Structure 1
Amino acid sequence: MRQIIQSFKTGETLLEEIPAPQVKKGSILIQTSRSLVSLGTEKMLVEFGKSNLISKARQQPDKVKQVLDKIKTEGLLPTLEAVFNKLEQPLPLGYCNVGKVIAVGEGVHGFSIGDRVASNGNHAEFVCIPQNLVCHIPDNVSDSEATFTVIGSIGLQGIRLLNPSLGETVVVVGMGLIGQLSAQLLIAAGCNVIGVDIDEGKLEIAKQWGIVPFNPANGDVVSFVESYTNTVGSDGVLITASSKSNEIISQAARMSRKKGRIVLIGVVGLNLSRAEFYEKELSFQVSCSYGPGRYDDVYEQRGIDYPLPFVRWTEKRNFEAFLQTISAGKISVKELITESYELHEFNSIYGNIGASKSIASILKYPETEEFSPSNSIVLNNLSFAGSKGVIGIIGAGNFTKMTMLPALSNSGAKFKYIASAGGLSGTTLAKKHGFSVSTTNYLEIIHDPEVDLVFITTRHDKHSALAAEVLIAGKHVFVEKPLALNREQLNEFLTASKDYKGTLTVGFNRRFSPHSIKVRSILGDEPMNIIATMNAGSIPSTVWIHDMSIGGGRIIGEACHFIDLISFFTGSRVKSVCMNALGRHPEENTDNASILLKYENGSTGVINYFSNGSKSYSKERIEIYSQERTAIIDNFRITEGYGFKGFSKLRTKLDKGHKNQFRELIHRVKTGGPPLIAFEDIVNTTKASFAAVESLKQGKWIEI
């Protein structure tokens, strides 16, 4: 299928050929008929993509600080490599999609094949969208009209926050597409509406709805509003404009009546004057996109609705309300369509988007009654017959892009497949690294006899089941940690894969670092004390890894690295675990904790996993005490030895062992031999991570 993307590296807007997505649980697969180009948002993205690195940095000062912190802890070259890798990932454009349902995912209710629907899907021939972001289109609303659903809901949500009443005067600042739709909705609600814009063409369009136009180039907008309202001032101001100036928010305050309301939908300077807001006791609120549910994975991705009596207008219900308003003839959108183009003519819109005077541009897609989307595309016709070390990768996220593929580049692996859910990220990586096939159907990888090693880098909740599938198919499997999220998943994996033929490797890469290998070689086998500290840094609570059912939390999902590393140094297995956490915390989830480990050979380990430290301090530090000797590994860049004969220091660039791990793994797959990490050791580490969480819940030591 074809999809419009924006390259942040080259600045080009492209129509890319990628594999079509498959329908997922809780989602709907849609064949697109029309999509609307949101000129405001998409213009901003396109112009950002075309800007140079210095301009990009100026527009994102918070990202610059993150880069500087990363340079301090990891070095200049790894940081620059990470930045450029990030820029190479293209962005899919568009969020106003209309089409027909061609497949319904498990657990979806109320939709059938053939239904006409609107969604926030991208500009693509096929989109897979969660059910709470899809709604039915009334029969008397055309596909072109329905493309306004999502962007109209943005205006509708701002109006709901403004809470206007019949007869009030509302000023809409910015008469672009959202402004035009918002003003019509306000008229339909019985408000008097003043539309403000410097574009006379947009004001002429607005006049036909009964909106009072005003061009600030012709006079003082504040004086005009005061005159129009007989010195009362506006009851509400809805800002849909895009400007860096602080003057717009100042004008909004000055034109408002006492206790007036101001709602921001657009993007403007927000250097507020306390006096202007204080004297009138004004209220100011920023509207969040389509409405309640936006950016909430529980609502959007899992499809769990908010109860209507408590949250009357969710984003989906806003979609439906806007469509009903069109259906009832209370607003009209046809007059806002400036131009329509076939999908292949996309550059007629994007080629000069910066200077476009268009209100709404529509993209039309090929009309086909019988069409089966392809879930795979061949990028390079390569022969793998008789080869060993042929790999397929399931998952094309940040770890695959930023860490794994660069580390695999000189490993001797032969790249055949990469699978991603949406198709775009996988195709981008496949082109860069020379893969033969990009697919959205991971089963192609598992059932291809030429593939002998499968890498799994999906979200954590999929790891154990996918790994079992691969082993049952008789292939070797690498699973990025963790192997499983709980005992049930682990037991199911052990049962399903007990007669496997391939080898299992879990991504405990730190034991393969030259720093770890050197320290292990000089330690010996006597019991030892080890303290491993991970200055992990804070991440928002909404990030998926905190979700125990998807990511498993950061202890199971990340601290397992250090359980394995300490086991590697001690040459032993964990027999009991105790964990204590900082402050008040949920029963099973924390990212500020100390884990105590007792080993079978008498060694002890302490893992300090902290998220409340400075990002400018080293991220990882390991201290090992044994036989009046001490070894310290600082962020896998410097290792110092005290009391060791013939060793005092090892210095390298940042090396956490990924390259060595993959090189060894590919060599084993090609030549045979035992797994890189003993199966029993992997299971022990996995159980120890579960025991840490269980210890926190029960407040006691847990035996493995």
Structure 2
Amino acid sequence: MKQLIQNLKTGETVLENVPIPQVGRGQVLIQTRRSLVSLGTERMLVEFGKANLINKARQQPDRVKQVIEKVQSDGLRPTLEAVLRKLDQPLPLGYCNVGTVLALGEGVTDLRINDRVVSNGSHAEVVCVSRNLVAPIPINVSDDEAVFTVIGSIGLQGIRLLNPTLNETIVVIGLGLIGLLTAQLLRLNGCRVIGVDIDETKCQLAEQQGITVFNAAAGTDLIKSVLAFTNTIGADGVIITASARTDELMSQAARMSRQRGRIVLIGSVGLNLNRAEFYEKELTFQVSCSYGPGRYDNVYEQQGHDYPIGYVRWTENRNFQTVLHFLASEQLDVKTLISERVPLADYARIYGDIKSSHRIASLLTYPEEISLSSRINLKSYRYKQGTGTVGIIGAGNFTGSILLPALKSAGATLKTIASAGGLNATLLAKKYGIAQSTTDYRQILADTDIDLCIITTRHDNHSRLTIEALQAGKHVFVEKPLAIHDHELAQIIDAQRASDRMVMVGFNRRFSPFVQKMNVLLGKPEIPMNVVVTINAGFIPANSWVHDRAVGGGRILGEVSHFVDLITYLTGSLVHSVCMNAMGQSPTETSDSASLLLRYENGSTGVVNYFSNGSKAYSKERIEVYSLDRTLVLDNFRQLTGYGFKRFSNLSGRQDKGHAEQIKRLLAQVRTGGASVIPFNELINATQTTLGALQSLRENRWIDVAGIGVGPELVPP
């Protein structure tokens, strides 16, 4: 299938060939018939992409601050590489889609195949959208009309926040597509509407819809005009749908408002507010968030849990339904807003001249016959026996920024990469010369050419995919964590024993040249030592999937196992017991500021301080080892300092956390056989330790880790 994407590095808009997405639980697979180009939003993306690095930085000053902090902690070169990688990740364009249902995921029972629906799907021949972002189209609403539903909901949500009453005077600043729809909806609400813009064509179109219009470019004094229209009272409310970097629009909105008036921002303008203008009138100001309640809420949008109507009357889906109702009853006119209909293949007619002011709404039309393949071949492929051919399940940021460069550097034979949506996998396949892209990971498991399956999906899929890959006869490399529940660990052990295949977890820190040097300096591992690891992890918003116990497992499970493995490697021993304390009066299993105390079988002790509330300017990782009157301090995997060593004092260099070396050794092991690069019992022990840490927090005591998930007699050597 074809999909439109925007390259933020070059500014190029591309029609990419990608496999169709896989429909998951609670999702709807839709074949597109129409999509609407949001000229304002998409123009900003195109212009941002075409800007040079300096102008990109000027447009995003907050990101510049983050870059400076990363330079201070990680160094210039890693930071520059990270920025360029981020810009090299193209974005799907579009969010106003109409199509017919191709397939329904588990749990979707109120739609049928071939139903016409609207969604916030992108400009693609096939889209996969969560049920709460899909609404059925009434029979008397055409595709051309229905495609305005999502963008109409943006204006509708701004109106709901403003809460206008009958006969109030509302000013709409900015008469682009959202502004014109907002003005119409306000009139349907019984309001007197004033429209403001600088484009005469848009002003004339608004006048045809019965809206009082003031052209700001014609020398009209907007403040005096609004005051005259309202008999000197001022506007009851102002909705700003314009896009401008200036602060003047906010100032104008304040000055034209009445005492205790309301201002809602839907567009994007400067927000350096004049306190006096707001203070003297006691004005209320609010920013509107997209389509309505539920937006950006993972529980609502991805997990499909609706808000009770008695508590949240208007969700984003109910806003979709409202716009469709107005279209069905012919109260909302959108036909006059259509500037052009362009076949998807001719997208350059729109995007090549996206700054054009004469357009209001551009519609993309789609062919009825399309390719529905879940796999595409990007280059010819020839399998070489014994090379260790790789299939990758997961195409996120870690795969593209860390794993694939390491695999290419190690000379891996990359055959197939899979992602649920298809786009990310296809783009990475093109960039790294991978032969095939697919949305069906089972094609990797069924491929007898593939020896090694690499799994980099969300955490809740790790154990299941690891077991499936082992049962398919594949060696497995899985990003941490290996499992997020006790029972998953037992199932992985059983599957590994039955398959006699290798399992490797992405515990890369032990392969860093700095850690390798520490291991040599410390000498005999049977001598007990103290190891303290401090992780300045940084803040992740509470609504992130990482904090969801059922999906991400929490950051302790997701990340701390890295450092348990590192201490295990340095001490040469397994963890015997663990105790964890977390910040807060009632810490939960997903707390991300905690300290773990580790007792090792050989008498060593470990401490892992994992904190999310530190300064970004401070080093992210610090490892201290105390043994035989000697001390080693590793700062952020860039500088190792020794105290008490006769022939060593310092080692510094480029930050290296061991990813490349781990992949190099992994491929060598797959190709030649022999002992696992990391002993399987150490992988199990690290996972048991983090699961035991959560149990320790729940039960407020030390936990022996050997029996977690399995009986101690079942843990393999």
Q: TM-score category by the smaller chain? A: over 0.9
Distance (whole Å) between structure 1 residues aligned to residue 614 and residue 162 of structure 2: 41
Write the distance in 2 (CA, Å) between the matches of 1:644 and 1:295: 53
SS in 1 for 2:62: helix
Shift of residue 629, structure 1, vs aligned partner: 1.5
- Paired position in structure 2 for 1:111: 111
Q: Please say if 1:597 is aligned against 2:587.
A: no
Classify the secondary structure of the residue corresponding to 2:204: helix
- Corresponding residue number in structure 2 for 1:457: 456
- Give 1:91 deviation, angstroms: 0.6
**Partner Cα distance (1:52, 1:93) in 2:** 21
2:182 matched residue in structure 1? 182
Alpha-carbon distance, 1:355 to partner: 2.7
Q: Please give the residue correspondences for 1:398-477 in structure 2 after superposition, counting only pairs within 5 Å.
A: 398-477=397-476
CA deviations on 1:408-463 (whole Å, 9 max, x unpaired) are: 22212101111111111111111111100011111111110000001000011100
Aligned match of 2:212? 212
Q: CA deviation at 1:372?
A: 5.6
Cα distance in 2, alignment partners of residues 16 and 72 from structure 1? 38
Q: CA deviation at 1:585?
A: 4.4
Query: Which residue pairs with 1:4 in the alignment?
Result: 4
Q: Tell me, in whole angstroms, the C-alpha distance in 2 between the residues paired with 1:443 and 1:356.
A: 48
- Matching of residues 60-75 of structure 1 within 5 Å: 60-75=60-75
Are the equivalent residues in 1 in contact too, given 2:199–2:217 (CA < 8 A)?
A: no
Hey, which bits of structure 1, 4+ residues long, moved more than 4 A? none
Whether 2:549 is the aligned partner of 1:536: answer no
Match of 2:145 in 1: 145
**Local SS of the residue matching 2:632:** strand
CA gap of 1:358–1:173, structure 2 versus 1, over 3 A, is same
Whole-angstrom CA distance in 1 between matches of 2:97 and 2:289: 20
RMSD of equivalent CA atoms:
1.1
The aligned amino acid for 2:29 is L
Unaligned runs of 5+ in 2: 706-717
Name the residue aligned to 1:332.
Answer: 333
> Take 1:585 and 1:662, find their aligned partners in 2: how far apart are those partners?
40
Q: Name the SS for the 2:692 alignment partner.
A: helix
- The farther-off stretch of 560-569 and 203-212 is 203-212
Give the Cα–Cα distance (whole angstroms) in 2 for the partners of residues 249 and 343 of structure 1. 38
| Structure 1 position 385, deviation (Å) | 4.1
User: Which runs of structure 2 are paired with 1:687-698 in the superposition (5 Å)?
Assistant: 687-698=688-699
SS in 2 for 1:313: coil
Letter aligned with residue 239 of structure 2: L
Number of residue-to-residue matches in the alignment? 702
Alpha-carbon displacement from aligned partner over 1:384-414 (angstroms, at most 9, x marks no partner): 1424210011111111111111122221210
Q: Which moved more, 1:419-428 or 1:110-119?
A: 419-428
Report if aligned partners of 2:422, 2:439 keep a CA contact under 8 Å in 1: yes
Q: Which residue number corresponds to residue 517 of structure 1?
A: 516
Q: What is the SS of the residue equivalent to 1:681?
A: helix
Q: Deviations over 1:307-333 (max 9, x none)?
A: 000000000000001000110111110
Establish whether residue 231 from structure 1 lines up as the match of residue 254 from structure 2: no
My pick for the range that moved more, 173-182 or 383-392, is 383-392
The structural deviation recorded for 1:356 is 3.8
The DSSP-based 3-state class of the residue aligned with 1:484 is coil
Please report how far the alpha carbon of residue 469 of structure 1 lies from its aligned counterpart in structure 2 after TM superposition. Answer: 0.5
CA contact (8 A) 1:387 1:450 kept: no
Give the letter aligned to residue 578 of structure 1: C
Contact 1:250 1:273 in 2 (8 A): yes
SS in 2 for 1:454: strand
Q: How many Å separate the matches in 2 of 1:199 and 1:279?
A: 32
For 2:640, what is the secondary structure of its paired residue? strand
Give how far 1:652 is off. Answer: 2.4
Deviations 1:581-601 (A, max 9, x none): 223343212111111000111
Supply the distance in 1 between the matched residues of 2:301 and 2:490 (Cα, whole angstroms): 31
Aligned pairs (5 A) from 1:159-558: 159-218=159-218, 219-368=220-369, 373-523=372-522, 524-525=524-525, 526-558=527-559
1:457-494 superposed Cα distances (whole Å, 9 cap, x missing partner): 00111000000111111110000100001212222333
1:648 lines up with 2:622 in the alignment: no
Number of the residue aligned with 2:560: 559
Structure-1-length-normalised TM-score? 0.98
Residue type at the aligned position of 1:205? L
More deviation in 341-350 or 486-495?
486-495
User: Match of 2:667?
Assistant: 666
Distance 2:636 2:279 in 1: 51
Aligned to 2:582: 581
Identity rate of aligned residues, in percent?
A: 60
Q: Per-residue CA shift, 1:26-68, capped at 9, x if unaligned?
A: 1000000000000010011111011111000111111111111
Q: Write the letter of the residue equivalent to 2:128.
A: C
Gaps of 5+ in 1: none
Contact map agreement 2:13 2:46 (CA 8 A) in 1:
yes
* Secondary structure of residue in 2 paired with 1:577: strand
Match of 1:611 in 2: 612
Give the superposition deviation at 1:565.
0.6
Asked if 1:43 is matched to 2:43, the reply is: yes
- Equivalent residue, structure 1, for 2:133: 133
Deviates more, 1:172-181 or 1:208-217: 208-217
2-structure distance, mates of 1:128, 1:624 = 50
Contact 1:265 1:288 (8 Å CA) reproduced: yes
Tell me, in whole angstroms, the C-alpha distance in 2 between the residues paired with 1:217 and 1:70: 44
